[in-house]
A and B are shown apart, each in its own frame.
Chain A
Amino acid sequence: MNCQPTGASPPLVRLRELSVHFGAVQALRNVSLDVRRGDFIALVGANGSGKTTLLRALHGMLRHQGSRELADASLVQAMVFQRPFVMRLSVVNNLRLALWLARVPRAEWAGRAALALRRVGMAELGERPARALSGGQQQRLALARAWAIQPQILFLDEPTASLDPSAKKDVEALLAGFAADGMTMVMSTHNLGQAKRLARRVVYLDQGEIQRDLPTEAFFGERGSARIDQFLKGEMAWQLES
C-alpha cells in the first residue's frame, strides 16, 4: 500500500520503477517514490532492506534502471552520512571547500560559512582542525556544510547512528530546526522513535521494495502486515524511548 501525498507542487525528485543491482544482488526493486517540497521522509526497514541504496539513488549517486526525474536540472542537493568525512583542514576551510565544490561565488563564502557555523552552534570553532572535533561536532560540521550550500533537498543517511545520546539530541534538534524552516529532507534511520519524532512521512522498505509509504501517524497506527508488525514490535520497545 503506497499512499503518497498528492500535493499541488511537482515533486522535487520522482523515481519510477527504479531498480539497482550490485552484481547479482538486487538492492532495489521497481521503486516508485515522489519527494515533494517540504517533505521530511524517514526511510525505515531492517538491515539490508535498501534504505541507504534508496537514499543514494534519490541523490543520483548510483547507476540504475528505471527513471529518476528532477523538478529542476539545477536542483541543489546535499547529503550527510552516518560517519562524516571531514578533511584535515580547519572547520571553516571544510565549509569553504563545500561552497567551492557547490560552485557558490567566492564573495559569499565568508558570510555563508559564518552563518552555517552559527546555525549549528559552532561559531567559535571555525579555526579548529576539523579532525580534532568530537564525533558529534563532526556531524554538526557535516550538517553545517550541507546547510551552507542552501540545498533544496537534504539526504541524511542514519545521521545519528554513531553518536552518543547527547550528540544525538543536538543533531535531532538541528534537523527539527531545518524542517521548521521548510527544508525538504529524506533520512534513513533504524531509530523508529526518531522517525516518529521528526518525520512527516514514513517509507518502509523490505528486501529492496517499498512496502508502505504513509504519513507518520498513520504508519505507526497501522496494523495488518505481519512483517511490519514484526518490525515495529522488534524495534519499538527499545528504540522509541531513545
Chain B
Amino acid sequence: MSAFAESGRTAVDLIVHADPVLLHTVGLSLSVSGTATLLAAGLGLALGAWLAVARFPGHRLAALVLNTLLALPSVVVGLVVYLLLSRSGPLGSWGILFTPTAMVVAQTILVLPVVAALTRQLVGDSLRDGGDQLRSMGAGPLSCALLMLVHDRWAVLTVLIAAFGRAIAEVGAVMVVGGNIDGITRVMTTSIALETSKGDLPLAMALGIVLLAVVGVVNIGIGMTQRGHGSALAGVR
C-alpha cells in the first residue's frame, strides 16, 4: 500500500508544483495524440461512412480486414512506420524519424481503423433505421451516410474519444518512431516505460495517475458539452 500512497503523493506534487518537464511531456502527449486523432477522424469518418454504403466485390473482406485492424499492435505500427521513415526506407528523405511528426503518423495509422470500423457500424445501424426515408427524400447513398454522421454526432464524438484514448495510452509506436528523446519526443507513456525500466516504480505510477487525470479532464470537458446538449433537449420536452 505504501508504494501506492507514495505514487499518489508524487502525482499530486508533480501536478501542484507544475513541474516544467511534466508539463512539456503532457503537452507533447496531448498535441501528438490530439493531432493524430483529428487526422484519423478526417480519414476514418469518411472511410467508415463510405464502407457503410458502398457495395463492391470484396466489400465483406474489406470490412473484415478493418475490424481485424482494431487489434493492430502498436509496436507493429511503430516498426512499419520506422521502416518507411528510416534513412534507407522509401520515405527516408522526409527526415522526420525521431520527431513528433513521425509519432503523429504512427498514431494516426494506429487509430484510423478504430474510427473507421466504429463509424461503419454506427452509420450502418442508423441507415437500417432511416436510410430508406432519406433515400426517398432524394439523398444518394453517400449523402445518406454523411447525414447519419450528423444525426449521430454525439456517438461519433464517443468514437473519437475512444480513438484519442487508444492513441494517448499507447507506448509501442511512439517509442519506436520517436525514440523517447528527452525534451523532444518523450511523452507520458514513454516516460512511464522509462521510469519503470529504471526501477522508479512510484514515479512511473505517479506519471500513470497524471496521464489518467489528463485524459479524465479532456473527457469531462466533452461530457459537459454532451450533457449541455442533453439538458437543452430535456428543457423543451
Answer whether A101 and B139 are a contact pair too, CB < 8 Å, given A81-B133, A87-B151: yes
Q: B interface, how many residues as a size bin? A: 20 to 34
Q: Is the CB of A85 within 8 A of B134?
A: yes
Partner of B147, one of A59, A84, A87, A145: A87
Partner of B136, one of A79, A97, A131: A79
Cα A61 to Cα B152 in complex, Å, equals: 25
Contact with A along B206-237 (1 / 0, CB 8 A): 00000000000000000000000000110011
Q: Is the CB of A102 within 8 A of B138?
A: yes
Cα A128 to Cα B234 in complex, Å, equals: 11
Nearest residue (CB) in B for A134 is: B237
Nearest residue (CB) in A for B144 is: A101
Partner of B135, one of A61, A78, A87, A97: A61
Q: A interface, how many residues as a size bin? A: 20 to 34
Which A residues touch B137, using CB under 8 A? 78, 97-98, 101-102, 145
Which B residues touch A233, using CB under 8 A? none
A106 at the interface (CB under 8 A from B): no
Most buried by B among A78, A84, A85, A132: A85
Nearest residue (CB) in B for A60 is: B136
Cα A101 to Cα B144 in complex, Å, equals: 10
Nearest residue (CB) in A for B143 is: A101
Chain A nearest CB, measured from B230 CB (Å): 10
Nearest residue (CB) in B for A128 is: B236
Contact with A along B127-146 (1 / 0, CB 8 A): 00110111111110001000
Cα A103 to Cα B143 in complex, Å, equals: 13
Cα A13 to Cα B151 in complex, Å, equals: 33
Cα A85 to Cα B137 in complex, Å, equals: 11
Instruction: Give the total number of A-B pairs whose CB atoms are below 8 A apart.
Output: 46
A129 at the interface (CB under 8 A from B): yes
Which residues from 79 to 97 on chain A have a C-beta closer than 8 Å to any C-beta of chain B? 79, 81, 84-85, 87-89, 97
Contact with B along A114-138 (1 / 0, CB 8 A): 0000000000000011011000000
Nearest residue (CB) in A for B237 is: A132
B150 at the interface (CB under 8 A from A): yes
Which A residues touch B150, using CB under 8 A? 87-89
Which B residues touch A145, using CB under 8 A? 137
Q: Is the CB of B233 within 8 A of A129?
A: yes
Q: Is the CB of A85 within 8 A of B236?
A: no
Cα A79 to Cα B233 in complex, Å, equals: 28
Contact with A along B150-169 (1 / 0, CB 8 A): 11110000000000000000
Which B residues touch A84, using CB under 8 A? 133
Partner of A81, one of B132, B138, B139: B132
Q: Is the CB of B136 within 8 A of A132?
A: no
Cα A37 to Cα B199 in complex, Å, equals: 84
Which B residues touch A97, using CB under 8 A? 137, 147
Chain B nearest CB, measured from A139 CB (Å): 12
Q: Is the CB of A85 within 8 A of B129?
A: yes
Which A residues touch B232, using CB under 8 A? 129
Which A residues touch B132, using CB under 8 A? 61, 81
Cα A131 to Cα B143 in complex, Å, equals: 21
Which residues from 35 to 86 on chain A have a C-beta closer than 8 Å to any C-beta of chain B? 59, 61, 78-79, 81, 84-85
Which A residues touch B133, using CB under 8 A? 79, 81, 84-85
Q: Is the CB of A101 within 8 A of B233?
A: no
Chain B nearest CB, measured from A209 CB (Å): 24
Which A residues touch B233, using CB under 8 A? 129, 131-132
Q: Is the CB of B136 within 8 A of A129?
A: no
Cα A78 to Cα B134 in complex, Å, equals: 11
Which B residues touch A103, using CB under 8 A? 138
Which A residues touch B135, using CB under 8 A? 61
Q: Is the CB of B236 within 8 A of A88?
A: no
**Given A79-B133, A132-B233, 15 other A-B residues pairs in contact with their CB atoms under 8 A:** A61-B132, A78-B136, A81-B132, A81-B136, A84-B133, A87-B130, A87-B147, A87-B150, A97-B137, A101-B134, A101-B137, A101-B143, A102-B137, A103-B138, A132-B237
Q: What are 26 A-B contacts defined by CB distance under 8 Å?
A: A59-B136, A61-B132, A61-B135, A78-B137, A79-B133, A79-B136, A85-B129, A85-B130, A85-B133, A87-B130, A87-B151, A88-B151, A89-B150, A97-B147, A98-B137, A101-B138, A101-B139, A102-B138, A103-B138, A129-B233, A129-B236, A131-B233, A132-B233, A132-B236, A132-B237, A145-B137
